[in-house]
Structure 1
Amino acid sequence: MTDASQAERKRVWTTPANVALCAEADIADPGSRAFVLQIGEAFFHGFVVRKDGQVAGYVDRCPHQGFPLAIELDRYLTPDGSLILCGWHGAVFEPLTGECTGGPCAGGRLTPWPVQATNGIIRTA
């Protein structure tokens, strides 16, 4: 794939419900994992955070400038696992609400991606 064709890849911002993503145990607590789903000819980029036995999903796009949050695959959390970190400009977000509590988009929030854990499997909701 050329650079030009990658730039033209269509993105979507939602996913169908009930798509199995992974086992809940596949994500550490606290931890995070990226997911890219192909929906027809387009691609959805999101990530799931697991913290305190709960899961939350977000579109992988910082509200500050629209970049993906992680610089390194699956590294969405601060080293202590307490917050989501945008590796590009340092914005920090609450893991279970997506609220930005510091950095260039303070007061904003991540776009939620509805997910749920049922019977040990994380699925889109």
Structure 2
Amino acid sequence: MTEAAAVPSDRKRVWTTPPGVALCALEDIAEPGSRGFVLQIGEAYFHGFVVRKAGEVAGWIDRCPHAGFPIAVEPDRYLTPDGSLILCGWHGAVFEPLSGTCVGGPCAGGKLTPWPVVTDGSVIRTA
């Protein structure tokens, strides 16, 4: 298979990002809200998402601890409709948005893997 024909599941994945990469303006994410990011790091790809809630932001690697699938079934839809929890659309696990702790579903007691991000003025950056 040629590189141009590779499907996303065939892409090499990385689990960390370099610090200081500008992701988006803080205002690009609703309060509460979420947004997914795919960053190319060399020839590999990083998949993560940022949640904004209660004046804070938290970054998470986009991988459910239960089965390893991405959290969102649809782009940028990481939160429950009321914005109170992160919802794994595949198996129904729910997580606290700022701590990443699973509070229900098949991985109760587990945690999402943090992705260090910071708010630098009005810009969200990798940390």
Query: What is the root-mean-square deviation of aligned Cα atoms in Å?
Result: 0.8
Amino acid at match of 1:96: L
Task: Provide structure 1 residue ranges, at least 5 long, that are not aligned to the other structure.
Answer: none
Task: Write out aligned runs for 1:4-83 (5 A).
Answer: 5-6=6-7, 7-83=9-85
Residue 118 of structure 1: how far off its partner (Å): 1.6
Q: 1:107: which partner in 2? A: 109
Match of 1:119 among 112, 118, 121: 121
1:93 aligns with 2:92: no
Moved over 4 A (4+): none
Which amino acid in structure 1 is aligned with residue 46 of structure 2?
A: F
Q: State the TM-score, normalizing by the size of structure 2.
A: 0.95
Q: Secondary structure at the match of 2:80?
A: coil
CA distance in 1 between counterparts of 2:76 and 2:114 reads 17
Unpaired runs of at least 5, structure 2? none
Q: State the percentage of identical aligned residues.
A: 75
Deviations 1:12-43 (A, max 9, x none): 00000010000000000100000000000000
